[in-house]
Chain A
């Protein structure tokens, strides 16, 4: 296939970026989107140009490192699919494709398509864990967990922290990311002792990091490669209300 790419190029966080056009010819429809960029980069290097920087690692849709806006959609046109798992057979021969980094105040651009998502780690630091120092655990079967709760916790826990939810949100909110962790841990008996401090702490960290508020636009769950449901945000709000009411 032959494609016309318009790619965001930016040298460093402080410089101005711009869209640059590249013609990419002779791409296999079985190649992944990132493999198509690899091919382009190999050609750029041999032509003496600077290759396009982009984040990626596992290339099997689980590490959460890759992510870019493809024709204005986080991770591109295929539902429930990370950029690395998107294959070129979903594009048309001769198509023009716009490729941009995540756009969000809390995710500054590092270079080209690479952004800094450190703010996600700071949300987890503020309570996205269960305090269980190594060695202190009771037998795993000491506390049975109803299957329905365990399954719901698992669904929430599948979040890969890629940031597509933030990039898609008109407010640049990380509420779905935060709600996924609050939901995962809050659904389990082991997560109850810290349930109140967790939700309050994580929401404070969320706001401090510069993420916007949630207005239930629902764009987040639409682009989420793991299909994290919007209902978790309702659950987070309910947990938050209970926590602050108790605290007084």
Chain B
């Protein structure tokens, strides 16, 4: 059976060459500018109001463009960036501990297991320092020391302290900064905000992205919105697993609709499984809650030495505990990158040494930290996380070790973009988690916030000018052929979903899809499992389209209709993820193929065969997609086997 075909390779035409330190400056100089008087005549649509979308919309409006912003939540302040806990990296070297732009670049390329573009990552490290300045100027209340200067902490995958934070609520504070900048632009009339609106289709005219079809989630009204460029900042697709740390509403629909219209989807199989989440408690489970990775700075991860040891943690003596991360990875210890920590947890649980119900958990123990630093110091650092843990589980982590287990957290893959963050559809830009660009096969902790804000505040507002300089483009009307067709597609799909009137709920399908993905496309993947998953997904998708029951009508707030559309797109994405995971017969970062490991069980890359970005072209539902390879070249950081031992 043919699961995919191979097409022409693809190249990043916008990428500058020359010394890496000067590439971004040269690209900015080489890009066309738009005269301030002309910016008023140009409209940009931004879909999503998280760190990337919120900061992009505010910054583009400050520059003088007319911006229209859309989010599915009731306010732009609620986008899921708000839930990021631990912090944001920046190469400030305020600690004088040997950090630099180059080291952040190096750590990120290595952490991504040599599957990211060097040029993009270097730029990310460069603008990281501006992000902190920008956020402080906006009033983001980062943690400070007694001298009044900013505090830093260390994070997984690095040996320097470059992470800025605001207690365990860094994402919230950064997002509120972007949100407030956005609200200021709304008040000034530069941004038209449309909350409780969901993008359901991309409008492509003359080969250019020119607008979107949206549904007003309150009234059900479908409308078409036009612009000179469209920016997708619609986040990641972790909810394809049903259970993940994403918000319940997070979905792939905006990206997937663009993919179906011709935008290539890159590296969909690269998913990040976060090692420190609260384990499942039963079949009612609707999402998983992350405990910030920063906890690994002071918490020690362990399981009993003996399989099947069901004594309480307190009754297991020191000699019968296996602090397995410290044992296997002595130089990084509990701070190994996420992919490594997650797989190690899976391995000890597979050995029967897991703790708690079902044996799916490991301990994260703060007893030593409390003895060393005192309870007050631990509370000051992690108080809100400990409270959250206790609220959910009913256990007190000051006296009983936390139980944690890996959960899907972030997706490194996304729509393919060039150095300018433009997709393969001219005029369609993609920022933040929705694109694939900077994290390679694995993202380091505290780098998602950095990338979202880098894209939105500093990269996109510079690169989009080069495209918009050719505008304004020809005015569109509701009766243009492509516009009518895009709208009809949306209406037909809604009618179809409402008319099936079957006997299974949307959530029951989503849960089953999630099980398939977790089992066969989760922490460990095999050729056999992925092949099986593809056939299971196909038959479940068919069943969905004949048996799903969506109550109510399309003319009102209908949360099941919203979910049904999202799950329908997850079905198609799920298959592509499995195809991508199947084709990549190597292990790298968050993608672990059981067939490709070193003798001691570490991920084994095959750089000779797989040192490329896999960008997929859509050919039809259930049809084999076309693989377009973008070769990766490493001039500065030479690929080596990642070692954290």
Contacts and interface: CB of A to CB of B under 8 A. Distances in A.
B is a partner of A: yes
A97 interface: no
B423 interface: no
A191 B139 contact: yes
Contact of A85 (B184, B388, B507, B559): B388
A158 interface: yes
B348 to A, nearest CB: 24
B286 A147 contact: no
B254 to A, nearest CB: 16
A150 B173 CA distance: 13
B325 interface: no
B78 A65 contact: yes
Interface stretch (A111-119, A210-218, A229-237): A111-119
A157 B505 CA distance: 39
Interface string B70-90: 000111111110110000000
Contacts of A128: 180, 183
Interface string A95-128: 0000000000000001100101110110011101
A141 interface: yes
Q: Bin chain A's interface residue count.
A: 35 or more
A117 B78 CA distance: 12
Given A134-B59, A135-B130, 13 more contacts: A28-B284, A49-B551, A53-B557, A65-B73, A118-B195, A124-B183, A125-B187, A129-B181, A132-B138, A134-B62, A134-B181, A137-B136, A150-B141
B552 A50 contact: yes
B184 A129 contact: yes
Highest count of chain A CB atoms <10 Å: which of B139, B507, B557 = B139
B186 A42 contact: no
A150 B143 contact: yes
Contacts of B286: 32, 34-35, 38, 59
Q: Which 9 A-B pairs have the closest CB atoms?
A: A144-B148, A129-B180, A137-B137, A125-B187, A132-B137, A154-B141, A137-B133, A30-B281, A31-B284
Nearest to B187: A125
Given A144-B148, A147-B148, A117 B186 contact: no
Nearest to A44: B551
> How extensive is the interface on chain B, given as a class?
35 or more
23 contacts: A27-B284, A30-B284, A31-B284, A32-B392, A46-B503, A46-B549, A63-B247, A80-B387, A117-B75, A128-B180, A129-B138, A130-B138, A130-B139, A134-B58, A135-B457, A136-B137, A138-B133, A138-B137, A140-B132, A146-B148, A154-B167, A158-B169, A191-B139
B55 interface: yes
A196 to B, nearest CB: 16
Nearest to B173: A157
B36 interface: no
Interface of B: 55, 58-59, 62, 73-80, 82-83, 92, 94, 130, 132-139, 141-150, 166-167, 169, 172-173, 176, 179-181, 183-184, 186-187, 193, 195, 218, 245, 247-249, 281-282, 284-287, 289-290, 387-388, 391-392, 394, 457-458, 461, 503, 505, 507-508, 549, 551-552, 556-557, 559-560
Contact residues of A: prevailing secondary structure: loop
A59 to B, nearest CB: 5
Contacts of B130: 135, 137
A53 B559 contact: yes
Interface in A43-86: 45-46, 48-51, 53, 55-65, 78, 80-81, 85
A139 to B, nearest CB: 6
B248 A57 contact: yes
Contacts of B144: 144-147, 150-151
A190 interface: yes
